[in-house]
A and B are shown apart, each in its own frame.
Chain A
Amino acid sequence: MSKQQGRAGLLRGSIFLFLLLGGAVVRTNAAADALQEIKQRGVLRWGADAEGGAPYTYPDPQKPDQIIGFEYDLAEALAAKLGVKAEMVQNQWDQLIPGLERGNFDIVLNGLEVTEENQQRNVLTQPYYVYAQQIVTRKGNRDITQMDDLRRKTVGVLSASAALRLIAKIDGVDMRVYPGNVEALRDLKAYRIEAAVMDLPIAVYYAKPDPALQFAGPSFASGYYAIGVRRKDSTLLAALNKAIQELAQDGTLERIYRKYNVWDEQQIGLKDFRPEQVVARKSISTLREWRKYLPPLLRAAVTTLELSIVAMTLAVVLGLVIVLLRLYGIAPLRWLAKAYVEVIRGTPLLIQLLMIYYGLAEMGIRLNAFCAAVLGLGMNYAASESENYRAGIQAIPSGQTEAALALGMNRWQLLRHVILPQALRLVIPPVTNDFIAMFKDSSIVSVITMVELTKEYGMLAMSTYDYLGLGLMTAGIYFGLSYPASILANRLERKLRYDRR
């Protein structure tokens, strides 16, 4: 479904931690009947992500502290049927299932697609909405009218979405994975991609009103949204199924969907929907099936490695230029270098990346994702490298300068032959630290559609729900790459040491 849900990379860690802490506090009255508990409490807690969630669940643009959306109205109607109040619990979209399992809320009601994966460990109610996929292109494009036309085209999809699974099957498609559909549409308008595929309601809300965009062909590949419930909460499941059935038949659903302009004739089928029995599949152990899951992780690790090496090279060189300007440059350049370091260090890398990728595109400078990622990481780390160098240069005793000047060296010769050779040896350890830090920090570039190791892990984990097994593999790869780097740096440091006694 919709979403800015991404921001994923950097948020995922903190959310995971939050869930761990949260889980320790949340009572898990496993024995108690969930329906009974909800009625006693008088509140039905439903999990959803309101960030970029129109028209499902989103903050009212007129009154931003009020949540609206067709799912919001549906939750209210369902709660009313159960005789309780509804209360939305905000939760990052791609973490809704883990959140449900941890007991942060009673149900997930947020564009959850009826797929095998989603029914592995939890159950789904009968569907409350029939969605379909819609291809969106720039106005005037006549090449693309159906899925087959996407072959060898650059296509944007939302991470962990039905569209992604569908498009991934097309041969030779150049797929770009976005944290949110809004970003995909922006890149479509910036000519970075040729088409975007997304759930119809989102296309209706975000793309249809945009004069620069058009719907390419009819919608296709329909599927169902349903409510996710913990497997053990069977009475709650039954009560919700009954309530959805009633809301479909008494016209409440149609009224709600028309209000948000997401009604179409496909929804009529919901009235007579008879759920087919989905057999619970046993959960996937990615560790046991490592032959299948390790190669995509390794491929992603190559991207991470390339990115880190190129970006660090840029940082090391640019940092040197900056520190030389700062220490030895003429006045305006000196101030400029200092300002650069302070501004870059004082602003988040995330914002710098988004500005380079999306911001510059608005001004007509369209860098591809890799270049933007290298530039963002490289410029950011150049600031800290220049500070490392500065510390190294200032650690060289003034006697060295005096000796070189007394020998008749000019300022450049002094720098080139006396100061820098000593300073650069001093900064090997901090620069190595930064390289290893960047290696891990580079996961942030998933916000600008780069699929690197952490993003790949997130995508695989989301479809298998084996966060642990994949996590071990991913962590192993990170460690296996960064540990040799630190060994290498130690060796280099030892080799270049001159104060051996």
Chain B
Amino acid sequence: MITVTPPQSQSASIAAPAIIGSKVELRVIGTSVTLQEHIREKAEQDLGIKLNFIVLDGPLAQREGVMHPEHYDVYDQWFHSLDCLWPAHALQPIDVRRINRWDEINALPRTGHLAGRPGTTAGSVPADRLYVQRDNSLGRTTSARISMLPLTHNADSFAYLADEIPPRLIDQGESWSWLLAPELAGRVALQADPAIGAIDAALAVRASGLMEFQDIGNLSIEEIDGLIEILIEYRQRGHFAGFWSTFAEAAQLMLRNQVAIQSIWSPAMLELERAGLKPQLASPHEGYRAWFGGLALSRLVEGRARDAAYDYLNWWLDGWAGASMARQGYYISNPERARQYMSKDEWAYWYNGNPAVDLVGPTGQRRSLAGQCRDGGDYAARMGRIAVWDSVMDEQNYLVRRWGEFLRAQ
């Protein structure tokens, strides 16, 4: 018998749902992007509930999400992963009438683009998987039920140490092709999750003129084969110094492994700053790879636990959490509410793209950003220049297996 179970170390701490005394305990599964201790403490305090954060890397959170809805009450992840969870009936629809600030949520997750800006159709567009349709599939036609409450989001790229980049590249301007520049061999790292890392790699391969893709968010078998062959060749030449699954690992790669350029998640920047490094986030001329995160309900959560889960979802839209996310470089879907919890300077830097004055991180640590501007400009400019959304492609299963070959190649 071939049995599929999650690694013991990851699942051992997952307890059964519980009501401790009069307090409901809510189990939230997700990644370190949002499952942070200061968030947990503040939400517990505001809501009078117990929160158990189950922190995994992206692919493991998805696997647990699909296979074990009995292990969690709330799923905290990305819209693209709904392509794995929804057909497996792991989640239940969210009733938007129970979301107090539903009307405040901006146009991007609802319609796919910001007012006056074109949206991309490449990748797993969040708006296409927001509303639950009459036949229980997900789509863009509005209804009173949604799959996931849209919350944090960002336009991602890569970080680099400017001093280490050859002048030839600097002159050409920031481009995804830098990730494959021969001068940087041995000093490049990528994200290990194929739904994200493979897209960064495809953006780099395309920008380097090595291959064209008909739809970079939905590669064909031949395109996947071509991409993986190129990557294996680079890997065998020693081009990649490492692959990371969490932003903490990403930071370590730059701190310890001489990595000069890598795809990055914004919270890693805090750790790098703390260590005295001053990496820059790129605004590649080819556009960003974007993602949208949110909260969803396990199919099995009910009764008081479900009421508490709705309270927790609503809490995320009250402003405090949105402000905290901004301080690590992420946007929230109802920014005006978060603005009430941010200083003018914070708002000016994070949302308006103005030069930084004196900023702090999510837990009050000083940030050394004075005088700098955010890559790519203000909210609308950054989120309006998306090359592709994180994606679960039609051939995702094939991609995952071939990506595994690339990661194992020597």
Tell me if chain B binds chain A. Answer: no
Residues of A within 8 A of B (CB): none
Q: Which B residues fall within an 8 A CB radius of A?
A: none
